[in-house]
Amino acid sequence: MNRKTITLTLAVLVVLGLGLVPQIIKKDNIINLAILVFIYVMMAVSWNFIGGIAGQTNLGHAAFFGLGFLIARMLWTEHRWPLFPCLLLGALVPVGFAMLIGIPAFKLKGAYFAIGTLAMAQILFITVRNLFPMMSFLPGDELAAYSLRPRYYLAFGSTLLTIAAAIWISRSRWGLGMRALREEATAAESLGVNVLGHKLMAFGLSAFFGGLAGGVFAYYAAGYYYFFPFAPTWTFDAVMATYIGGMGTIIGPILGAVFYVVVKEILALRLVEVHLIVFGVLFILIVLFLPGGLVQVWDKIRHLQAPSSRQQAPEPVPCSPDAVLHSGEN
Amino acid sequence: MKRLSVVIAIALIMGLMVASCGPTPTPTTAPPTQPPVQPTQTPVQPTQTPAKPAPEAIEIGASIPLTGKYGSLGVQVKAGYELAVQDINAAGGVYVKEFDQRIPIRLTIYDDESDPTKAVSKLEALYAEQNVVAYLGGAASDMHAATVPIAEKNKVPYCGVAFALWKIHQQGFRYLFSPFPKSPQQAEDTFKILNAAIPEGQRPTKVAIFQETTDWGVELGGLWKENAQKYGYEIVAYETYTPRAESFSDMILRAKNAGAEALLAVPNQPDGIAMVKQMSELGWTPKFMLLIRAPENPAWYEALGPLGDYVTIFPGWSYKVKWPGVEELNQKHQAAYGRPADVLVGPAYTCALVVANAIERAGTLDREAIRDAMAATNLKETPIGPVQFREDGTGIVLNPMVQWQKGQIEVVWPPEHASAPLAYPAPPFDQR
């Protein structure tokens, strides 16, 4: 059995195992936590399209999540559309928004792009807060029948879709182009890469799956303000999860999101008074000792076990094309 | 490839770890030390039939914003719950007929960091791991809005304070109870109090409403508008503004030009302070000002000095009200925190009493029976006065009005609880 078969088998087992979780685990707190993990995985993986793979630090990701939430929630709860068209529109509208702001925003570079996208998201946050200040509750019939099981499966399915898109893009010419422009846009352009087109592609994918995560959250949240999902914390959480896991990789944002949600929750339940301090220290330790994120753990272990191989294989840098290629070379 | 498989394996292991490790409860209940300040209703007499073994404790849980933007509210709520549980446990706990004995309460409190999503997780954990028979709520409307549906889903009775938004009660929730004044009461009481406290002919009948574009602002603004005419008042200016607006000049001038004599608003503290400063600069002093929320803490007077005087508030409760038990509560709070009870301590303390009382009357730890007993609550003596609940779970409770007078917050209504009479009309800002 070769490595590819082993990996595929393992992946299928993981998917099947996760698919059986609601049937096996009866405790709603575990199901609820799993839904949050899925949503954060979607947020981190979707941010990674533009921030990790294409190397454009977008600090306005909450705008996509918020738009997805707003559109899906309004259509579903107030206009009583069927859920799936609401989710689809909730994912497509952020893409339109990304294209609209992407063309002018990509004239900015580096920190200016980051500040520009942060400002854009804040403007949207304030505008939506002023336009829709009211709280949104699920309709009475939905509240009465509220169950976490269907929400789990929706979040799980959407997460699989997001990860599949990330794997596809990392193996495609688009992905290669994105990584090339991340390393050196001018050089990439000179080799025939359409820089703006690739940036817009990455931005669009990021917006689509960020919006889809917002739609899933719209289905999950029983009582919530329309404007809360536009809050910058949704951006920073996605960025932090990606940094913790490993930017620019496929697995990194997934690992980071799992770690970010699960460890925070365990600490909050076990160390009520000091949980924020402990998590802060943990985050600093990861940044200090694993600058490439949790995906570096395996490399560290491997190098410890086989010191001689260290001389042959260079230390992988997760943000480099190597790391991305490595993770997507299956 | 190899790394991918290892990482998947790590993810699986992490998943299994999460699934297997339940949260460790963090009981915050202090051991019984003092006699109860407020006994619950007469205990049911022990029966002769043999009772089944009693649990070690009655599990009650709360998710409270102890950090984050609502941290200052959450710590008050936590103090109220903890003082109440201390007092109840000091008396041996709650008598539960089903077990024919008193059982102490174990209160588990989690910090939700002022994040509604985290609050939902905490409530699920309290239900699944601690098997709580009742929830005590956190603070602020958005936190309650996120958590109350979880109580409804889990069919766990929920008692919450520190929110006045009526909309939460209009969703048909069966398990939500809140012994705290809500917008309809606040709106109606405004005009009732004005009519009762000020002789006809001297009343500020021309009213300006500065409505914040938030859910509570919209709700209360509309209710003030509805009630004004009924009680003989005219709305001469109805202005809207967004939170954290820097300039209120236009609306102030429109209200001034319309001859408004009273101002009603629910600003946050920075907006409230800016509003009063700009009113002073523009030379408009309403005879009567009700600014709910902004002036509730000492920072108001520190920022405004005498300009902050004469402003009235509906805080929900005050440590100066004269109900039995308030003095003892103040003493305990003073001993623990170095000051009399904060504004949310009394209502939070009462919430815990309501739950304990309901358990005692239900005579069982069955959640549905406790819910029904809570709905039938008829407590006569609590730090916030008599407590009953309407069909929608809103409390029939006193809504005291307080007023800043010479740098102090005085209770001005109702008269039997007043520490000072209502100061009216307010003198012009430039003459203070």
Helix (H, G, I), strand (E, B) or coil at B317: coil
Contacts of B143 in chain A (CB under 8 A): none
Contacts of B148 in chain A (CB under 8 A): 223
**Dihedral of CA B317/B144/B386/B82: which sign?**
negative
Cβ distance B281 to B256 under 8 Å? no
B290: enclosing H helix or E strand: strand B288-291
CB contact under 8 A, B18 and A36: no
Q: Does B121 touch chain A (CB under 8 A)?
A: yes
Cβ distance B179 to B195 under 8 Å? no
Mutate to test the interface with B, among A4, A15, A30 (most CBs of B within 10 A): A30
For residue B425, whether the previous peptide bond is cis, meaning omega lies within 30 degrees of 0, is yes
CA distance A292 to A314: 14
CA distance A319 to A206: 18
Report the chain A residue with the minimal C-alpha distance to residue B68. Answer: A276
pLDDT in tens, chain B (432 residues): 444 444 444 444 444 444 444 444 444 443 333 333 344 444 444 445 556 789 999 999 999 999 888 998 999 999 999 999 999 999 999 999 999 999 999 999 999 989 999 999 999 999 999 999 999 999 998 899 899 999 999 999 999 999 999 999 999 999 999 999 999 999 999 999 999 999 999 999 999 999 999 889 999 999 999 999 999 999 999 999 998 888 999 999 999 999 999 999 999 999 999 999 999 999 999 999 999 989 988 899 999 999 999 999 999 999 999 999 999 999 999 999 999 999 999 999 999 999 999 999 999 999 999 999 999 999 999 999 999 999 999 999 999 999 999 999 999 999 999 999 999 999 999 998
CB contact under 8 A, B26 and A223: no
Cβ distance B111 to B67 under 8 Å? yes
Contacts of A21 in chain B (CB under 8 A): 19
Q: What secondary structure letter does DSSP report for A81? A: -
Mutate to test the interface with A, among B7, B111, B148, B155 (most CBs of A within 10 A): B7
Quote the minimal CA–CA distance from B109 to chain A in Å: 8
Complex confidence, ipTM: 0.81
Helix (H, G, I), strand (E, B) or coil at B310: coil
- For residue A195 the two structure tokens come to 């820089």
Quote the minimal CA–CA distance from B16 to chain A in Å: 10
Question: What are the φ and ψ backbone dihedral angles of B287, each rounded to 5 degrees?
Answer: -65, -30
**Residues 6+ away with beta carbon under 8 Å from A197:** none
Q: Does B246 touch chain A (CB under 8 A)?
A: no
CB contact under 8 A, A36 and B117: yes
CB contact under 8 A, B217 and A133: yes
CB contact under 8 A, B5 and A3: yes
Cβ distance A257 to A44 under 8 Å? yes
- For residue B333 the two structure tokens come to 């709070």
Contacts of B140 in chain A (CB under 8 A): none
Contacts of A241 in chain B (CB under 8 A): none
Helix A61-73 / helix A111-131 crossing angle, nearest 10 deg: 30
Environment class of A189 (CB within 10 Å of its CB; exposed 0-12, middle 13-18, buried 19+): middle
Chain centre distance of CA A204: 14
Residue B114 Ramachandran class (φ > 0 left, ψ -120 to 50 alpha, else beta): left
Cβ distance A65 to A43 under 8 Å? yes
CB contact under 8 A, A32 and B124: yes
Q: Does B20 touch chain A (CB under 8 A)?
A: no
